[in-house]
Structure 1
Amino acid sequence: MKKLILAVILLLVAAGAVLYLSPAAQLTVYQGVEQWRAGLHERSVSVNDLKFSYYEGGPQGAETVLLLHGFGADKSTWLWFARTLTERYHVIIVDLPGFGASDRPHGSYDVGTQTERLATFVDALGIRRLHLAGHSMGGHIAALYAARYPDQVSSLALIANAGVTAPQRSPFFQRLEEQGDNPLLVDSEPQFDELLDWLFVAPPQFPERLHQYLAQRAVADSAHQREVFEHLLDRYVPLEPELPRIQAPTLLLWGDQDRILDVSSIETMQPLLKDVNVVIIKGCGHAPILERPEESAADYLRFIDQASRQTAEAHKATPRQ
């Protein structure tokens, strides 16, 4: 009962913030409420003079789930998705270097470099086994991590991941290759609305002041995002040679109306993976974790529950030495 009352109070505070606080404060309060509802706490750790900011929640001692965000995003994109996971799993959501509240190191942001930075983060937290999931660019990094460190990964979920050549070229790549225009980079406030249309079938609706603030923030950060994207292209690491090295059961989860990375990417990946499950969400765009968080989280939870049961049964069947 006390928890319900506190939830109501927090929601009222958030509603008040929308009306009276600055847009930056509105966003802080809103994300703080969602963070609380997901049972997550913000933490940081420094590894080799590089600060990683991350959320952590769920029961200590439970199996660990590590979530990686996509390009131009940060750890907050997982807040709605993570809410059901923290009931049974130890959940960590990290800001990859160069994003969110983590440091922006000098050097490259290609997926190979980011994978090795992630490995130092996992080691610093003392994690020996994990369920790994990534969205878009984060999925590219997650797949590469699972290929390079197969003994650490209990399961892998790739959500509209980058890194493979799709049989059907997406509208995003058609525009990028034919016109040299990248819709993911926001150089003016009107382009922010275009970005939302590219990412979602049904774009989220924000209060006007908050919407304007998010657009202005994206414009202010466009030079850095452009640099990161150039690194991703210039030092591209294709996943096709890496996927056969992945030992963990793998979930491929996609929106059927993804305009950024075409759903036909699944056709490329499926034959290369040893143990694969496929979920395609109808009427959904590039970001199921934001557009359909409850549905995609339920699909993911079923997948990792099954992977956990299989691991437990395998351990029981293994004779003791």
Structure 2
Amino acid sequence: MGKPDEYFPFELDHDPAVFGLVRAHRDGPFGRLHYLHSPDPSGGTVTVFLHGVANDWTTWTPILRVARKRGDDLGELLLVDLPGFGASENTKDHLDMGQVGDLVLDVAAELGYRSVRLAGHSMGGFLALDMAGRNPGVVTSVHLVAGAYFSVIRTVQNPWTSLVRRPRVAAAYFSQSALATLGPAGLRGMALLRRARLLPLTLRGFLAYPWRANRTFLDRLTVGMRPRSFLLAAQNGADYRPEVRWRRIRCPLVAVFGVKDKLVPVADMVDLRRVCEHAETHLLDSCAHFPHVEMPERTYAFLFGGTAR
């Protein structure tokens, strides 16, 4: 199948005012946290968007553009730069997922919200699932994009076994780990590839059609690399048991996967349905690891088509 016409239709937006959002900061256990929210919160439920590694809040702007284009109301919004990513700090030597989830819920509660629905991509999806398992009375629904991390968790726990059983996942994970281990040298290499317009060479399996990625996505990916934060985030998988923790989830759960995703493969969708039998899952042929950016209209329809308010 060739590249669909609707592939990568939107640039990423960097101005929160475009979506009627305001910036805010607060001090927390990891340092200064940056987030954006709807002004004059009215309480009730807020939709919280959680980004993945090497991203920040802007990765969700194509989904927000689709909602505006359709005239849908997603309700009040909260978009968080997770600790160590985007404009948020991480002054600690760890990135404990339980603490991060509690921090996000604290921000929502401080704004006056009594409950949250969670939208998470990749690492943010992993976080959303963990939050839903820990906080059944607060999380009303979960909306995932490439966010069921079974294969990544297994790779972290058994790297050599994964090289044999899940070579594509292992290769994708270890390529990120190698880049993170290089630290500043790796970042300089990424910046050099971006200036030479060769960065898409590194994105096969993360994007279905890497050479069709637009400027703002590639720019944001380059500046969003946080080697230390990636390594700290990966430590959460060392002793994590998704089969136990995610089986506690009872709220509605919808998940979108990309057929060409080498980091979160179709096998993870099967595992999610096994552990969370009520999960509604969707597979997009012309997407890899970033369906919400690659094909935001179709992704939005699956994630929120029947739940916009």
Q: TM-score range by the shorter chain?
A: 0.7 to 0.9
Per the TM alignment, residue 47 of structure 1 is displaced from its structure 2 partner at its CA by 3.4
Question: Equivalent of 1:77, from 59, 62, 67?
Answer: 59
What does residue 8 of structure 2 align with? none
Q: Give me the TM-score of the superposition, normalised by structure 1.
A: 0.72
Residue 106 of structure 1 corresponds to 92
Shift of 1:173: 2.3
Q: Deviations over 1:255-276 (max 9, x none)?
A: 1111111022111111322532
d(CA) in 1 for partners of 2:97, 2:30: 20
Q: Does the CA contact (< 8 Å) of 2:46 and 2:77 recur in 1?
A: yes
Q: Tell me, in whole angstroms, the C-alpha distance in 2 between the residues paired with 1:136 and 1:92.
A: 18
Whether the 8 Å contact between 2:149 and 2:268 is mirrored in structure 1 is no
Please state if 1:64 is matched with 2:7: no
**Structure-2-length-normalised TM-score:** 0.74
> What is the letter of the counterpart of residue 102 of structure 2?
E
Match of 1:3 in 2: none
- 1:40 aligned onto 2:13: no
> Cα RMSD over matched residues?
3.3
One-letter amino acid of the counterpart of residue 120, structure 1: D
Q: Distance in 2 between matches of 1:135 and 1:91?
A: 16
Shift of 1:66: 0.5
Alignment of 1:38-187 (within 5 A): 38-48=19-29, 50-57=31-38, 60-61=41-42, 63-83=45-65, 84=67, 87-165=73-151, 172-175=168-171, 180-182=174-176, 185=179, 187=186
Deviations 1:46-87 (A, max 9, x none): 335732211223884374111100112111101111231773
Cα distance in 1 for partners of 2:166, 2:144 equals 18
CA distance in 2, matches of 1:119, 1:212: 31
Give the 3 Å change call, closer, same or farther, for CA 91–171 of structure 1 in structure 2: farther
CA contact (8 A) 2:85 2:226 kept: no
Q: Following TM superposition, by how much is the alpha carbon of 1:277 offset from its aligned partner in structure 2, in angstroms? A: 1.1
In structure 2, the gaps of 5 or more residues are 1-10, 155-161, 181-185
- Cα separation, partners in 2 of 1:252 and 1:92, compared to 1, 3 Å: same
Show CA shifts across 1:131-155 (max 9, x none). Answer: 1111111111100100100001111
Q: CA separation of 1:302/1:200 partners in 2, compared to 1, >3 Å: closer, same or farther? A: same
**Residue 217 of structure 1 corresponds to which residue in structure 2?**
223
The one of the two structures with greater contact order (alpha-carbon pairs below 8 A, sep at least 6) is 2
Structure 1 spans left out of the alignment, 5+ residues: 1-26, 309-321
Compared CA separation, residues 181 and 216, structure 1 to 2 (3 A): closer
Q: State the one-letter code of the partner of 2:200.
A: D
Partner Cα separation in structure 2 for residue 184 and residue 282 of structure 1: 29
**Counterparts in 2 of 1:59 and 1:81: CA distance versus 1, 3 Å:** farther
For residue 150 of structure 1, give the secondary structure of its aligned residue in structure 2: coil
**C-alpha displacement of 1:253:** 1.0
Give the superposition deviation at 1:100: 0.6
Quick one: which of 283, 300, 303 aligns to 1:300? 303
Shift of 1:184: 8.0
Matches within 5 A, 1:266-277: 266-277=269-280
CA distance in structure 1 between the partners assigned to 2:167 and 2:39 by the alignment: 39
Q: Residue type of the partner of 1:294?
A: E
Q: Indicate the SS of the match to 2:303.
A: helix
Selected match of 1:196 from 193, 203, 206: 203
95-104 vs 115-124, which deviates more? Answer: 115-124
SS of the residue 2:142 aligns to:
strand
Cα deviation for residue 172 of structure 1 reads: 4.0
3-state SS in 2 of match to 1:279: strand
Structure with the greater alpha carbon radius of gyration: 1
Task: Find the aligned partners of 1:291 and 1:224 in 2 and give their Cα distance.
Answer: 27
**CA 1:302 to 1:212, structure 2 compared with 1: closer, same or farther past 3 Å?**
closer
Among all aligned residue pairs of Structure 1 and Structure 2, give the percentage whose two residues are the same amino acid: 22
Report if the CA contact (8 A) 2:85-2:229 is conserved. no
SS in 1 for 2:124: helix
Mapped contact 1:246–1:274 kept (Cα < 8 A): no
**2:93, 2:232 within 8 Å by CA — same for their partners in 1?**
no
